[in-house]
A and B are shown apart, each in its own frame.
Chain A
Amino acid sequence: MIAIIDYDAGNIRSVGNALERLGAAYELTADPARILAADKVILPGVGNAAKAMENLRERGLCQLVRDLRRPVLGICVGMQLMCRDSEEGPVEGLGIFDAHVRRFAEAPDIKVPHMGWNALGNLDSKLFRDVDSGSFVYFVHSYYAGLGPDTIATCRHGGTLFSAALKYENFYGTQFHPEKSGSVGAAILRNFLAL
C-alpha cells in the first residue's frame, strides 16, 4: 500500500490517478498510523511552500516524515518542503535534503513560473533506470532547489541549472510532476514503486 499524504496542498488527486493507471494500490491519508504502515509514502504538493509547511505542521506530520525509513517521494512543493528552507515565505523545511530553495530571477524570455516540458540531465539514481538523459518532463514552479550533494538530476531554465531531483538515503524528491509527464513520468513512478 502506498500512502499519499493528504494535507490540503493543492491538486493531489492526480498522483493517485497516476498510481491507479500503474495498477498500484494507494490511499490518501493524514493519519500517522496509516502513513507508518505504508510500504511507500508520497508527499505531493502544489501551491505556496509556507502554507504547505504550516498544513504539514498542523497535522503533526513533520517529525513523522523525517523518521520514515521506507522509500519516500516528495513531488514539486513536497520536494521543496524536504529541503533546508525556502525563500517562499521564507520558511524552514524538513531539512532532509541539503539544499536551499530560491526564486527564479525573471529575465526577457525567461518566464516565471517555469512551466512546461523541459529536459533532464545528469541522471544519477535508480529512480531514472531506463530513462534517457534529455528526456522531457513536466514542470510548474517559481522556486527551485540549487545543486548540491543530494542532486540526482538537473534541468536548465535560462541561466539557472537547478536540481530536477534529489535523493538522501530513502528519501527522493522530484521538482517535476512525474504524474503529468507522460510515459517518462510513468517509468519514473514505476522505478519508485520498485524500490
Chain B
Amino acid sequence: MNKPLIEINELGKVFHRDTVEIRALDGIDLSIHAGEFVCLMGPSGSGKSTLLNIIAGIDYATEGEAVVLDTDLSSLNEDGQATWRNQHVGFVFQHFNLIPVLTAFENVELPLLLTSLSRKERREHVETALRVVRLTDRMEHYPRQLSGGQEQRVAIARAIVTDPTFILADEPTGDLDAESAREVLEVLSTLNSEFGKTIIMVTHDPRAAEFASVTYHLDKGLLTKTVLNGSHS
C-alpha cells in the first residue's frame, strides 16, 4: 500500500480548564491514505473535532505526532502553518462560516487572494469551483440570499478552489435539513470519487457516515472502532 497521506502516532491532547485537566485525545494511532473518504464519529466530547483540528494544523497535540504530507505540523510556526493550510487544506464548517458581506463569488475567492494568481485566473478558478457545486447561477448572491444547503455548497466551493490535497469537514450537515444534507454529501462524495479528493469528515449522523469509505469511532478520546465499507474490523 502507498505511504499514508496522514500518519498519526500515539497522539494525545490535554486541555487545562483552571485546575482541571481534560484529556481530549489519548494515544490515537491512525493512517489515512490519499483518495480515502474518512468519517470520524463519536458522541459530543469524544475528541473527533480536536483530532480534525490537529490534522488541519489549527490546533496542536500535547503528545505524540501528526505527520501530514510528510510534514510534522508541530515543526511549523504559526505563519508556516497558515501557508501550509492555504496550500493543502480545504475547510467545510458546520455553520458554513461564509463572510456575510461578500457575495458567493467573493467568498469562494478568499483563499485565492493569498496566492499569486491574477484576477483573471482567480475568476476562472472560482467559476470552476462553483460549477462543481452547481451554483454558477448564484455567484453574485450574498449568503443571506441563499438557502442553508446552497450556503454549504458555496463553503465547499471555497474549500476546493485552491485544489487542496484534502478536505476537512466538521459536521457539514449538522445545520441542514435532510434534503440539503443529502445534496452536500453527494457533492463531497463526487469530489472524492471523481476528483480523487481525500476527505475527512466529522459527523454525528450515521446516514452521513454511509458516504465514507472508512469510519473511525472515538469515545472519550480513544479510538474505539474502525468500520470499513460497512464491515467491522
A binds B: no
User: Which residues of B are interface residues toward A (Cβ below 8 A)?
Assistant: none
User: Which residues of A are interface residues toward B (Cβ below 8 A)?
Assistant: none
